[in-house]
Homo-oligomer: A and B are copies of this chain.
């Protein structure tokens, strides 16, 4: 669904308890916010409540600062009673996304195309790679490209450089767009919760290297891709979304590599979109996704 240009997004989660919805919707009513869409879900296994609201302030003399102040003053204390973690996103807000790549360019090309044409509402202030190959693509889009080569010996330094760049460019979200390096545990920890990776298999199947070759060996008739948050457990981060496609006996491993590119890039795009539209919530090792 396309949001209206003046739509705000409110999200929150907290332990399940009577009154969670009311604490949110009552404030919305009192502040005269017009609600376009609500999605709430109460997970009866994790006993946790999740809510996402798109709304438009209706007050006549609306001021952004006054509005946010009222959230802090009137809403926040009541939310605190419910141990509610909440977030408010202004209309037109664009997350600052750093894209990490190696040599494959299908995901990068796709993200930049959608970025350029407005399908993906983000800023891309920096692209980082361990190879020089995709510099021209970055340049055509006018985006700074950092080539940070990596060897087993220089891994700690290279990762430190990446983290510095993320800080320097004030990055909100890191996207590993077929960045073909196993991150160190320290790097995983540093990126926990704000980095999305695309893995070219239906995780948890075919973890690790060369998943298409593994899939071919097993003679599967479906291959897929998984977009997940990076955490400290390799290829085990919370799954955001997955995509699949049918294959048959005539697809050799190199065909799977080629055919899988469409699924990879669409799956990664969806995950990034869900994330920046505030549709994804962490719930233990799983995610709640209010997709559309």
Contacts and interface: CB of A to CB of B under 8 A. Distances in A.
Interface residues of A, number: 70
A105 to B, nearest CB: 7
A249 B37 contact: no
A187 B36 CA distance: 37
Interface stretch (A25-33, A67-75, A174-182): A25-33
B28 A36 contact: no
A242 B255 contact: no
Stoichiometry, copies per complex: 4
A41 B250 contact: yes
A14 to B, nearest CB: 13
A21 B38 contact: yes
A249 B38 contact: no
A292 interface: yes
Interface stretch (A42-50, A79-87, A90-98, A164-172): A42-50
B42 A39 contact: no
Interface of A: 1-2, 4, 18-22, 25-26, 28-29, 32, 34-45, 51, 58, 105-106, 109, 113, 117, 119, 140, 202-205, 217-222, 224, 238-242, 244, 248-252, 254-255, 258, 261-262, 266, 283, 285-289, 291-292
